Amino acid sequence: MKRDLDNLMEERDLDAILISGSGHDNPALYYMTNGASLLHGHVLKKRGEKPVLLCSPIEREIAATSGLTVVNMSRYDYLGILRETKDQLAAAIELYRRIFADLGVSGRVGFYGTEDRGRAWVLLNALDAQLEDVEVHGDFDVTPIDRARTTKDEAEVERIREMGRRTCLVVEQTIQFLKSHRVQDGILVQADGTPLTIGRTHKEIGRRIAEQRMEDPEGIIFAIGRDAGIPHSKGNPQDVLALGRSIVFDIFPREAGGGYFFDMTRTFCLGYALPEIEKAYQDVYECMEQVIAAYQVGVEARRYQQMTCEFFERRGHPTIASDTQTESGYVHGLGHGVGLAIHEEPRFSDVPSNTDTIQPGHVFTVEPGLYYPDQGYGIRIEDVVWIDPAGRVQNLTNFPKKLVIEL
């Protein structure tokens, strides 16, 4: 949470942090500005002090909605600097020099946010070389802002819960849309007799997402048959909706205009399911129930990935625990944090560098799956859960898990 930032900065020996970039698709800046809808901005926080927001004069009123102290960038006269230096890099260095001098920044400064990688590399190296009182710092792995965002307060959880309610409604509307079609020769057909396709279903889902004041910047997964056996295949738009084949529907929308994500997956078959699909589905379902029941505060997150692999291997499925390159069976991680980014901490990967432990305030997915593309099917079930302040697991995904959609 934001209240942890000073301690996180102290752990990294940071005297200040600067978060910069676009106001869109920039979770760190969105988080620090409390969702102010800026085109571009900077948030500067000195350790032990409240953050300030630096913005263009044309965005000063939007910036004021952040609740932060606002510093108008016009006071640093960037245009005048640029006219004098006639060089964008030199002007940027002088701009930062003026900002840091004005706000009393010196020492070790962490730089975060979004920027073109090449441009950021040039700028940060130049700042490190030319600003005598500033040591530029960056993080390759989890940043202090990432770590603060890992635990959600109750206001954040309520926004995610509301997103879950809307997302579940879209899934139900999609199922009703499928059921509204008639069956002909083993496939769903539209009123004009043409087959219902994956592409047409994608369009319907997109419309329903928009109606719920959400957006899908990462797209959706609605894939059938072999494509369902490839975890991140979004589905072939030309494929028809055939009975008896597994369909993986993974939907991960965000609040319209930027904000918090939700993420859920259901797998179903239209009309009936083949025995091998029924068995795989039951294995995934039972694995999920067992893992959710086992979550405990303080336990390493990677232990639950190990538990999942052990469960599936006992059921005779290959997993990435025994073959890190397998493309059949259980082939991915158990889950990930959800918030202002669709994938964030905590991480569940079973690698030595993952030291995340389950903590109150964590919001994350649980998404075991089995994938057999050569046999023409895949299964994944996914819920979002929250570890509440008392350490209890609360499932934020209020939607049934049922394999067969009766037509």
Task: Say if residue 135 is in the same domain as residue 156.
Answer: no
Q: Residues 201, 222: contact at Cβ < 8 Å?
A: yes
* Whole-angstrom distance, CA of residue 293 vs CA of residue 237: 38
pLDDT at 352: 96
Residue-level pLDDT at 237: 98
Last residue of a domain, one of 148, 174, 199: 148
Local confidence band at 267 (pLDDT 50, 70, 90 cut-offs): very high
CATH at residue 341: 3.90.230.10
The whole-number pLDDT of residue 143 equals 97
Residue 113 near residue 80, CB atoms below 8 Å: no
Residue that terminates a domain, selected from 107, 131, 148: 148
245 and 107, same domain (yes or no): no
pLDDT at residue 144 in the model: 97
Name all contacts of 152-155 with Cβ < 8 Å and 24+ positions apart. Answer: 152/1, 152/339, 152/361, 152/362, 152/363, 152/386, 153/1, 153/361
Q: Which percentage of the chain shows pLDDT scores above 90?
A: 100
Read off the pLDDT of residues 65-118 as tens digits, 9 standing for 90 and up: 999 999 999 999 999 999 999 999 999 999 999 999 999 999 999 999 999 999
- CA geometry: angle at 168 spanning 167 and 172, to 5°? 120
Q: Are residues 197 and 285 in the same domain?
A: yes
CA 110/CA 144 separation, integer angstroms:
9
Q: In this structure, are residues 243 and 272 in contact, taking their beta carbons and an 8 Å threshold?
A: yes
3-state SS string for 233-254: CCCCCCCECECCCEEEEEECCE
Residues 179, 228 within the same domain? yes
* Mean pLDDT value of segment 385-391: 98
Number of domains the chain is built from? 2
Same domain? 167 vs 88: no
pLDDT digits (tens, 9 = 90+) for 306-344: 999 999 999 999 999 999 999 999 999 999 999 999 999
- Contact residues for 373 (Cβ-Cβ < 8 A; gap 6+): 226, 227, 229, 230, 327, 328
Q: Give the CATH number of the domain where residue 61 resides.
A: 3.40.350.10
Query: Is the bond leading into 352 cis (omega within 30 degrees of zero)?
Result: no
Distance from C-alpha of 283 to C-alpha of 286, rounded to nearest angstrom: 5
170 with 250, same domain: the answer is yes
Q: Report long-range pairs for 199-204 (Cβ below 8 Å, ≥24 apart).
A: 199/237, 199/238, 201/174, 201/177, 201/241, 202/234, 202/235, 202/237, 204/174, 204/177
Q: Is residue 228 very low, low, confident or very high in pLDDT (cuts 50, 70, 90)? A: very high
Length of the chain: 407
Residues 194 and 312 in one domain: yes
pLDDT digits (tens, 9 = 90+) for 113-152: 999 999 999 999 999 999 999 999 999 999 999 999 999 9
Residue that is last in its domain, among 96, 115, 148: 148
Judgement on whether residues 173 and 133 belong to the same structural domain of the protein: no
Same domain, 211 and 120: no
End-to-end CA distance of the chain: 47
Statement to judge: residues 102 and 162 lie in one domain? no
Residue range(s) defining the domain that contains residue 283: 151-405
Q: What percent of the chain has pLDDT over 70?
A: 100
Continuous segment of H or E residues that includes residue 17: strand 16-22
Average pLDDT of the chain, as a whole number:
98
- Model confidence at 355, pLDDT cuts 50, 70, 90, reads very high
Asked if residues 234 and 222 have their Cβ atoms less than 8 Å apart, the reply is: yes
CA 213, 219, 222 angle in degrees (round to 5)? 105
Domain co-membership, 207 together with 123: no
- 124 and 159 co-located in one domain: no
Phi (first) and psi of residue 368, to 5 degrees: -65, 155
**pLDDT value for 77:** 97
How many C-beta atoms surround the C-beta of residue 334 within 10 A?
Answer: 26
